[in-house]
Amino acid sequence: MDAAEIKKLDKAHIMHSWAVNATLDPTVISDVDGVYLIDGNGRKILDFSSQLLCVNVGHKNQKIIKAIQEQAEKVCYVYPGFSYESRVKLGQTLAGVTPGDLEKFFFTLGGAEANDNAIKIARAYTRKHKILARYRSYHGATFGAITLTGDPRRPPVEPGIPGVIHVLDPYCYRCPFGSTYPECGIQCVEHIAEVIQYEIADTVAAVIIEPVTGSNGIIIPPDGYLKRLREICDENNILLIADEVMSGFGRTGQWFAIQNWDVVPDLITMAKGLTSSYIPLGAVAMCREVSSTLDEEMLYCGLTYNAHPLSCAAAKATIEVYREEKLIENARVMGSILKAELERLKEKHACVGDARAIGLFSCLELVKNKRTKEPLSPYNAMGKAAENSTEISKHLMARGLFTFVRWMFLFIAPPLSISEDQLREGLSIIDEVLDYADTLTEK
């Protein structure tokens, strides 16, 4: 089909997520190649967000494609109660990259389901029911995961599940306590300890965090935050859950973001980079204490597509690709270049209030005024209120670059396979478009 026919059928039959469908005019993608998308007219578009920050190894990796093909010729699907080769091989391989003693896994179809099942597992293990999560967070769109979510996507679908309490974030650029690191004494984490006191520790099962906040603006915790949070959880017999759906699998220059601070959580949820999103798969990794306790009980978690054989084969191959192509090392090297360039853009452009980067996980925070930090688009802006970010996106696409510009955040998170020339090509386009964004600031 040509692009026009695809668009016509899309309009007739498809409901797109997180969108006012009547106003959409989606770009048709006909092919992909490495770090590029190819639209319906044959134009190459540099993918600077790894799609939904998930195609970590880049597009069309032949090793992963071959693994899917070979598994399809063996076993496409069996009842999850059976044992089969692709699942056990993935478990063994994955246990080789997870930190500490997180060596047993419950597999799901994606990240939201992983977080839903992490809630069940935490409640089953602790015999407690409350879960603490942060406000500037996104954990998925199923009812459990969206309740954990703190950002403006949650209220429109409330009420959610009971027992979720939200706390404030380690957001140094806009510190909710009006403090400055390190003189602040990391109030943002002591605040969590205080909330636990109010809620009564004996009722709190777990604290769930994104070690580096993803779609709410790449919020990188200050040194000491995660170590202290681990202590607070231990002191109160509370599980620490790391949602690594977006930040895992090399995105920050480590297998998992939490490893940047030498902290081991009790549970890790993952998806996206686990298969580089070639086929859907998620997982909950459990430490030995949790898994050995639950081994003796009925596990009330179940999914038809739990540990789908094709997905498991893809995931094992993907982990091998990270190793063989040294993609995590490349994320560190390219990340150092990216961080320096983003600081340069921050100094150059009036619209850039802050630049945050760790590995190939970064964003520019866009403001109308650097002194007051007024956002270029409001934090929860939709429709007309978000027209500044919408226009910036259009300018980027017109120059051949796709990435997310959401609220006041311009994300830069290309595939880990990106070369320095490709990285600088994309940053040059962003530099040009920031000239336009500068015209939207207060003079």
For residue range 255-281, list pLDDT tens digits in order. Answer: 999 999 999 999 999 999 999 999 999
In the chain, what are the helix, strand and coil shares in percent, each to the nearest 5?
Answer: 40, 15, 40
Q: What is the DSSP string of 65-89?
A: HHHHHHHHHH-S---TTS--HHHHH
The strand ranges marked E within 210-308 are 239-243, 267-270, 282-286
Q: Which residues does 410 contact at the CB level (< 8 Å), separation at least 6? A: 363, 364, 366, 392, 403, 404, 430
* The pLDDT of residue 352 is above 90: yes
CA distance 134 to 49: 24
Backbone region of residue 115 per phi and psi (left: phi > 0; alpha: psi in -120 to 50; beta: other values) = alpha
pLDDT (0 to 100) of residue 255: 98
Work out the average pLDDT over 409-430: 98
Q: Do 330 and 308 fall into the same domain?
A: no
pLDDT (0 to 100) of residue 170: 98
> Quick one: 79 exposed, middle or buried, by C-beta within 10 A (0-12, 13-18, 19+)?
exposed
DSSP at 227: H
* The pLDDT of residue 169 is above 90: yes
Q: Do 96 and 228 fall into the same domain?
A: yes
Q: Do 34 and 89 fall into the same domain?
A: no
pLDDT (0 to 100) of residue 384: 78
Q: Which residues does 400 contact at the CB level (< 8 Å), separation at least 6? A: 43, 44, 45, 46, 429
Work out the average pLDDT over 120-124: 97
- Domain assignment present for residue 67? The answer is yes
How high does pLDDT run on average in the chain?
96
Q: Which residues does 213 contact at the CB level (< 8 Å), separation at least 6? A: 134, 136, 137, 169, 219, 220
Q: Do 132 and 161 fall into the same domain?
A: yes
Continuous H helices in 265-419: 288-294, 309-324, 327-348, 387-398
* The pLDDT of residue 381 is above 90: no
Task: Collapse the DSSP code of 199 into the 3-class scheme (helix H, G, I; strand E, B; otherwise coil) and give the result.
Answer: helix
Q: What pLDDT band is residue 385 in, cutting at 50, 70 and 90?
A: confident
Strands 361-369 and 374-375: what pairing?
A: antiparallel
- Domain assignment present for residue 181? The answer is yes
* The pLDDT of residue 249 is above 80: yes
CA distance 428 to 439: 18
Q: What pLDDT band is residue 312 in, cutting at 50, 70 and 90?
A: very high
Q: Do 355 and 274 fall into the same domain?
A: no
- Domain assignment present for residue 443? The answer is no
CA distance 57 to 60: 9
Among residues 324, 355, 374, the one where a domain terminates is: 324
What is the residue range of 431's domain? 3-57+326-438
Domain count, the chain: 2
- Domain assignment present for residue 198? The answer is yes
Q: Which residues does 158 contact at the CB level (< 8 Å), separation at least 6? A: 147
> No. of H helices and E strands in the chain?
13, 16
* The pLDDT of residue 136 is above 80: yes
Q: CA dist 165 to 90, 148, 177, 180, Å?
A: 34, 8, 19, 26
* The pLDDT of residue 340 is above 80: yes
Residue with the bigger pLDDT between 7 and 334: it is: 334
Among residues 305, 324, 343, the one where a domain terminates is: 324
* The pLDDT of residue 443 is above 80: no
